Chains A and B, each alone.
Chain A
Amino acid sequence: AQTVTQSQPEMSVQEAETVTLSCTYDTSESDYYLFWYKQPPSRQMILVIRQEAYKQQNATENRFSVNFQKAAKSFSLKISDSQLGDAAMYFCAYRREGGSQGNLIFGKGTKLSVKP
């Protein structure tokens, strides 16, 4: 069974600085997708960034980028120029390839605090 591990329950970053959240996963599949979701106090899970396992190039979305190491099964999220609005729970998620396998497998999350 696939598993996702986030080893940092809490992280803190100074406003305008850079922070990296870690995520490792375990799978025997070769094709899959990885996601980072953000959950602010409003409770809604917001997609931050996604990565296809078959792509070697790391995904980037504005201030958010990932370091995807397929062999190491590592998928870290880097947030540059941190803003107060980035404070939230961040969840790493895995989904196997295949339209009928619709479920995301989530890590336990990392609570990110941003200090002004």
Chain B
Amino acid sequence: KAGVTQTPRYLIKTRGQQVTLSCSPISGHRSVSWYQQTPGQGLQFLFEYFSETQRNKGNFPGRFSGRQFSNSRSEMNVSTLELGDSALYLCASSFSGTNYGYTFGSGTRLTVV
């Protein structure tokens, strides 16, 4: 079956702009989580959605937001981009947010200039 699909793979944006990243989970998976990966901070949890509801949120400013659609696809949005938002953004899906592990996508590499 198809894996977790993240689009686009690469993105270059200018400071102050906004960006939307997309994640399509594995068919049947209802939980989608987002992580930010940077060389300095490592992997940090952004938020998790389950059945269209955000049920867990990391410690990020309100510029970072997300949503989940009825087909479990998820989007995350970053408004008023800052240079420090440059990172690899990873999406992970699981059947119900259980502890059987999560399947990750290959990420979106965002560069803010």
Q: Which residues of A contact B (CB under 8 A)?
A: 33, 35, 37, 42-47, 50, 52, 91, 95, 97, 99-109
Closest residue on chain B to residue A96 by CB atoms: B99
Q: Which residues of B contact A (CB under 8 A)?
A: 3, 31, 33, 35, 42-43, 45, 48, 50, 55-56, 58, 88, 90, 92, 94, 96-107, 109
Contacts of B33 in A (CB 8 A): 102-104
Q: Which of B56, B106, B107 contacts A103 (CB 8 A)?
A: B56
Provide the main secondary structure of the chain B interface.
strand
A52/B104 in contact, CB under 8 A: no
B98/A47 in contact, CB under 8 A: no
Contacts of B43 in A (CB 8 A): 91, 104, 106
Contacts of A95 in B (CB 8 A): 99
Contacts of B48 in A (CB 8 A): 102-103
Closest residue on chain B to residue A42 by CB atoms: B106
Given A100-B56, A100-B97, A102-B31, 20 other A-B contacts at CB below 8 A?
Answer: A33-B99, A43-B106, A44-B104, A44-B106, A45-B104, A46-B104, A47-B102, A50-B100, A50-B101, A52-B99, A95-B99, A99-B98, A100-B55, A101-B56, A102-B33, A102-B56, A104-B92, A104-B102, A105-B45, A108-B42
What's the Cα separation between A52 and B106 when bound, in Å? 26
What's the Cα separation between A46 and B88 when bound, in Å? 16
A43/B50 in contact, CB under 8 A: no
Q: A42-B106, A43-B107 are in contact. Are A103 and B101 (CB under 8 A)?
A: no
A-B contact pairs, 15 of them (CB 8 A): A44-B104, A44-B105, A44-B106, A47-B101, A47-B102, A50-B99, A50-B100, A52-B99, A91-B43, A100-B55, A100-B97, A101-B56, A102-B50, A103-B45, A104-B33
